[in-house]
Chains A and B, each alone.
Chain A
């Protein structure tokens, strides 16, 4: 057993014991908690310090956290914490609580996801959460439209030690509120036993692929929206509607959600579906036939869809929120999130398994629209598209 593991398990064990005794603490016993927190600080500093050294990040072992304590409420989408076998949430909570024994992580997973918090802010109701995990660029645009510029979230990047490790081209918020923690590349997944790789956007409109593609509704599904934006990126703002008319003429199927589409594809309704380029990671884990899970990067491209996290502007525990964000960006957490969420890490130092390295495919030419390019445009693009498709 090496020193790091020993220290970690020893210290964590001792601290967990303490935390166990304090588990039922409520506001009335605040003082005791704080006292314990102070006693715990020394030990914890050692743990944290050793960890940092071991991971060869920087030599600043002196920078101890201030004995963080309290309840951290992390808002996110449901499948981040509760999806069977693939949710990173439980690991994040457990590991973070091990490192900060006086901290309890609570998840909030409102059904309306980000809209829930936008609506709360509109109604003047307290937010009651410290940070949100799972923001994308659409959310930011909607927030800024609905609540005025810079609403709801505040920037934390100055407080984040590990922010330098985040890949620059994934940073999607000009105001730096949202910090990327993973990314996916939208691509086609096709059954290689049924069809050849279409390779280009043009091929999708030919007879050879008539009725072969399932996509998602761009109004309601993130993948569907990403695919629509990808076609706009590829064909241009003037021509994308014509391209879609050709797709519809070629019998493309537009289903409601990614689940609907993937289920239909899985049941053999059509051989190609819009999904993520990490599809083989999961398929391999499940023991599925990889010939039936091939990834196609049309025109060598894939549409990047980074996910970010941000601290609520009036978070009850801003320091805790920032500590958690830094933890999410740590090399270990980055690897775990990538593998459990089946997405790529957003940093340059994630610890990834061989399996992931082998089966997660990266496009030669990742494309995406920036916040500025989308702002003021995306609603109209989606709306015009939707009216063309649904017009009777």
Chain B
């Protein structure tokens, strides 16, 4: 074969591969999901309907008609209208009602706290803006025990916050055991998420639409409400949806900061799993998942209706010090300063308190917890957890997760945004990893993959590094999808069609036309994917059993000692430092691609 012939053949093969690439990626994604998500989770869910080797609806019926779980709905499910009054007096909400209630409060708090952040980050130019934007994701990766320590140390009875209130003459507040504590802690985790998703959308709005509205005589307020807000709403709702789903499934924060009186459904599922009571746990998990998925589906239908053709063309950012001092501009800056103060209290307070804890022993300042980390790294035995290994693993898994989750997420976005009837259902199914709790996924993985599956007399086991990365990718790609899909849906279709008409393959059109337009979403998704991998705990700890593939959060948990959290907080500070640095790097790299 001549050189030219070989080249031509290569090109032909390349073209065919490219043409098939989307399909191949789609199938690969579906396979990974089936093996690492659907199979394990369905094994657990099957327990809801199977007791003692028989299929039965008994447990399901018992759960639905139990006022403890469903409050006033329980007698209704049973068709017993007379029972409603009695239940309304004792347990009106039930566990599900209360869980939804606290999740709704947490969502409102997160959105209220997150939106001004998105506004400041996307509309103002100031030194360190990009760094702060990168760091918005950091709270997301902190283990709950660290957040609890930070909260007690800062907001607690003897904490700095209360000292400040006392100095101001406002009086002290009780944090422990209150719904407020849970809501604020949830906002600590999720407001940055809302801010980040919304910032990504704000940075890709079409400013010309606002200019047009203004030139047609709309005042800035009207232009915002009628033109800009509809462009931002899908992103805000994405943030709200994710927050609701997360806080609906919350349990470590509830138990550490609120107390058992405020137990959620997930607290109950966890306890039932501990008691190996799978049937009831699985039933609760199915209901919990159905609610989350139902919400996701409703949101996806809404999102699909929002899609309209526009191109990213963000407005210029304002300077923090205005060029001319109008009363409105001054008021706005005062608002920004007030918001910065709130951020300092809610986010910096607990984080700095956590770091302070790592430097304080019973007799004041100490470096011995860090000395412990160094010593453990230098002389620790094989079966002990070494901080250096944890850092290395976290970064490696994070990077590998990015490589797997980004293509998976973009593929699903492309396949579902341009889909036909039923694509919203498929989209919801692809979003399922978000809606299933860590306890259930962890249990399913244990029973399905770690113990192995008997196939033709051989036990097939999946565990180890690649399984961890795959599990992280499964947990992470929905974030890529949710960050990319809304932007992708709003890309002007005619641009893609023109490219295709000019001979570009589907993949070419995606790479050259669509992706650059949704780059801010892809970058936001990438940061989330990395964050999910760094922060993931349940499946990592199960898949890492008996190996050296533990990560930073796992190390934090393992360093919690008998009566001492010193080494754990030191490791938590390392986690904080490493992840902060990584997010700045990721965002800078992502930013280069964006520009």
Contact = CB atoms under 8 A, between A and B. Distances in A.
A287 interface: yes
A119 B276 contact: yes
A330 interface: no
A123 B447 contact: yes
Nearest to B545: A110
A79 B562 contact: yes
Given A253-B176, A259-B560, A269-B157, A392 B92 contact: yes
For chain A, which range describes its interface: under 10, 10 to 19, 20 to 34, or 35 or more residues? 35 or more
Contact of B560 (A83, A93, A115, A220): A83
Nearest to B67: A391
B90 A391 contact: yes
Contacts of A389: 260-261, 263
Given A220-B270, A263-B565, A90 B558 contact: no
B381 interface: yes
A219 interface: yes
A248 B259 CA distance: 11
Contact of B546 (A85, A108, A115, A263): A108
Given A260-B148, A263-B565, A267-B159, A287 B362 contact: yes
Contacts of A257: 255-256
A31 interface: no
A78 interface: yes
A390 interface: yes
Interface in A271-328: 279, 282-283, 286-289
A20 interface: no
Nearest to B376: A84
Contacts of B91: 391-392
A159 interface: no
Contacts of A391: 68, 90-91
A316 B376 CA distance: 32
A78 B556 CA distance: 12
B263 to A, nearest CB: 4
Contact of B93 (A116, A119, A283, A392): A392
A365 interface: no
A255 B255 contact: yes
B260 A255 contact: yes
Contacts of A214: 176
A253 B158 contact: no
A118 B566 CA distance: 33
A244 B92 CA distance: 21
Interface in B257-307: 259-261, 263, 267-268, 270-271, 274-276
A379 B97 CA distance: 25
A109 B550 CA distance: 13
B560 A248 contact: no
A65 interface: no
A125 B452 contact: yes
Given A82-B383, A112-B446, A142-B275, A253 B177 contact: yes
A282 B563 contact: yes
A392 B545 contact: no
Given A84-B372, A390-B260, A392-B98, A267 B562 contact: no
A264 B560 contact: no
A392 B95 contact: yes
B564 A115 contact: no
A6 B567 CA distance: 37
Interface string B523-562: 0000000000000000001100110000000000011111
A17 interface: no
Given A267-B149, A392-B98, 16 more contacts: A82-B384, A82-B559, A89-B383, A120-B451, A142-B275, A219-B275, A254-B259, A263-B152, A267-B153, A269-B152, A286-B361, A287-B361, A289-B362, A379-B275, A386-B260, A392-B91
7 contacts: A84-B564, A111-B545, A256-B256, A259-B145, A267-B153, A390-B261, A392-B71
Interface of B: 68, 71, 90-95, 97-98, 145, 148-149, 152-153, 156-159, 175-177, 252, 254-256, 259-261, 263, 267-268, 270-271, 274-276, 361-363, 372, 376, 381, 383-385, 446-447, 451-452, 454, 459, 541-542, 545-546, 558-567
Nearest first, the 9 A-B pairs at minimum CB distance are A256-B255, A254-B260, A219-B271, A390-B263, A288-B362, A267-B152, A83-B561, A268-B158, A392-B98
